[in-house]
Structure 1
């Protein structure tokens, strides 16, 4: 099955790209510049495409992103520290981001004769991001079948939608994902900060999966305190 992977350059999407390359026919990686706080993750997506020997498309969504205001990922708002599931992480929601990206990716797939668009949404995203939940992905897949009826047959592939980030680490390790060549941190410094929601979630996932974490964190031990605070310990 010829498959496009939406790739941010993060652990989840790069692991997915390696999984698709091993199991199906990976045709290209598609990334989006929507005016996020930093472009560092896009460099890691480009490296993944080069490593896997496929084209890499970066879609410029900056004018659209400028209109999707109110998120710590696009505006001059501090990125909160703490566990990903905390209520404060809702400030990182970019409204309708995945819906917009997927619609574009489906158009790219249809134009190029691909069979599927794969995205790495996972169970840990459900609490915060509505366009990562199964109800959304199933409805979107049905909508695209209607949108492309008679022109192309493209399906939405979401192999992680009912799985945890620890499961993604396990799958990534299975397919030889170079985890050090992925970027998760929202803050975009020289190293992963170790304190933002994605850093805490990333560090916890490696621990739960029992896979060594090669990531360099500025604060490598904060994640334990963040998890303890979430659990009320």
Structure 2
């Protein structure tokens, strides 16, 4: 159980931009933060690697939960099935429905609520945001509100489900993070877990659009070969940008278990 005088929060932390901002927001509230990440058999472990590094640097307790045993239950998605092509386009229902992982957020939230009860935390934070509403049913306000109701009655100790960006978009999330002085070079968004972000997938394109909307330059490096997405005005330094020092370290699935000392 948590013994800190500060109220405890479990943050579902993927290593991406949104959860990175949620994590720091909770810390700035003075919360005792416990970061929780999940290995559910996603195509690469790059985000998990980034999440470990950030939590280590911040001194935040971090648990990576291995739930790969359920992979066969949720493998009908381009994010969990390597045989499916990842769509390269802006987010839209017609072409990115393939990236929906069945029931993912209900599964992750259920486990995070259990951890919250286990350690005496009264809140679970996660980064659902307005830009996801059209494509991802488990990021819509109706889902979050229903899960919050369930979290209040599923245990003897009620837990509040906190999604601070539920009605804002990625550009607004980034604006808040930049105002906090956050370094988004410590995040990973790309659907591909390669050395450089692709700049073509929907996740990269949404990220680049958020930086453009804020008149800012994305600090991560992009693959600029044969594609305009990462060489546009959103990336004025793209032609000369080099890999981040850790970019050459592969985080593809075959190697992920080798560094999983905090898996449970």
TM-score (norm 2): 0.81
Residue 64 of structure 1 corresponds to 70
Residue 126 of structure 2 corresponds to 119
Residue 174 of structure 1 corresponds to 179
How many angstroms does 1:105 deviate by? 0.2
How many angstroms does 1:52 deviate by? 2.0
C-alpha offsets along residues 114-145 of structure 1, whole Å, 9 cap, x if unaligned? 11000001011111110000000000000111
How many angstroms does 1:169 deviate by? 0.6
How many angstroms does 1:67 deviate by? 1.5
How many angstroms does 1:223 deviate by? 6.5
Mapping of 1:74-153 within 5 angstroms?
74-75=80-81, 76-148=83-155, 151-153=156-158
- For structure 2, the residue ranges without an aligned partner over 5 or more in a row are 1-6, 233-264
How many angstroms does 1:3 deviate by? 1.1
Cα distance in 1 between the residues matched to 2:54 and 2:32: 12
TM-score (norm 1): 0.91
Shifted more, 61-70 versus 184-193: the winner is 61-70
Cα distance in 2 between the residues matched to 1:165 and 1:26: 25
Determine which of 187, 192, 195 is the counterpart of 1:187: 192
Matched, 1:213 2:182: no
How many angstroms does 1:69 deviate by? 2.2
Greater share of helix: 1
C-alpha offsets along residues 173-224 of structure 1, whole Å, 9 cap, x if unaligned? 1223210010000011111000000000000001112233112111373269
Note if contact 1:19-1:171 (Cα within 8 Å) is conserved in structure 2: no
Give the match's secondary structure for 1:28. strand
Measured on the aligned residues, the alpha-carbon RMSD in Å equals 1.5
Pair member with larger Rg: 2
Note if contact 2:223-2:230 (Cα within 8 Å) is conserved in structure 1: no
Distance 1:47 1:5, change over 3 A: same
Note if contact 1:18-1:176 (Cα within 8 Å) is conserved in structure 2: no
Cα distance in 2 between the residues matched to 1:26 and 1:167: 25
Cα distance in 1 between the residues matched to 2:221 and 2:230: 13
Note if contact 1:22-1:175 (Cα within 8 Å) is conserved in structure 2: no
Cα distance in 2 between the residues matched to 1:26 and 1:51: 16
Note if contact 1:29-1:49 (Cα within 8 Å) is conserved in structure 2: yes
Give the match's secondary structure for 1:222. coil
